């Protein structure tokens, strides 16, 4: 339920973006006849390439949490919509929220790595 901030997940995500960007580079836009396909193509390479270019910023070390979308916002939104009307639903809710402290600690540890490396949000 909570974000997986592990290095292995981040690296695998980078590899997926690398593969997608490489695949997109081999598409001939002029061969796309549908306006919808052209619009999609116009946006996907830009998104993939900007992700590749932004890696130098190491945002995983400093921009994880913020006041608008951090773990506290996700947790409160989850609590607001989490079903609890049955024993099974309550058990699932408890399981989700029992995992929250570990997710918070993982985020804190990653932010500490950022600080130790000289990265911090303004």
Instruction: Please give the model's pTM, rounded to 2 decimal places.
Output: 0.78
Domain final residue pick, 14, 38, 57: 57
120 with 67, same domain?
yes
pLDDT tens across 44-90, in order? 999 999 999 999 999 999 988 778 888 999 999 999 999 999 999 99
The Cα-based distances of 118 to 58, 100, 106 in angstroms read 11, 27, 18
Residues with Cβ < 8 Å from 89, sequence gap 6 or more?
82, 83
116 with 67, same domain?
yes
Residue 18's domain comprises 1-57
The Cα-based distances of 76 to 31, 54, 72, 103 in angstroms read 47, 30, 6, 14
């Amino acid at each position: 339920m909570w974000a997986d901030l592990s290095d292995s997940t981040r690296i695998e995500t980078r590899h997926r973006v690398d593969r997608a960007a490489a695949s997109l580079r081999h598409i001939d836009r002029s061969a796309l006849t549908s306006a919808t396909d052209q619009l999609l193509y116009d946006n996907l390479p830009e998104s993939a390439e900007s992700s590749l270019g932004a890696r130098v910023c190491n945002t995983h070390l400093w921009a994880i949490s913020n006041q608008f979308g951090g773990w506290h916002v996700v947790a409160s939104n989850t609590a607001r919509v989490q079903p609890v009307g049955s024993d099974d639903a309550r058990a699932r809710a408890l399981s989700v929220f029992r995992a929250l402290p570990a997710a918070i600690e993982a985020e804190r540890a990653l932010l500490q790595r950022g600080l130790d490396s000289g990265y911090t949000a303004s």
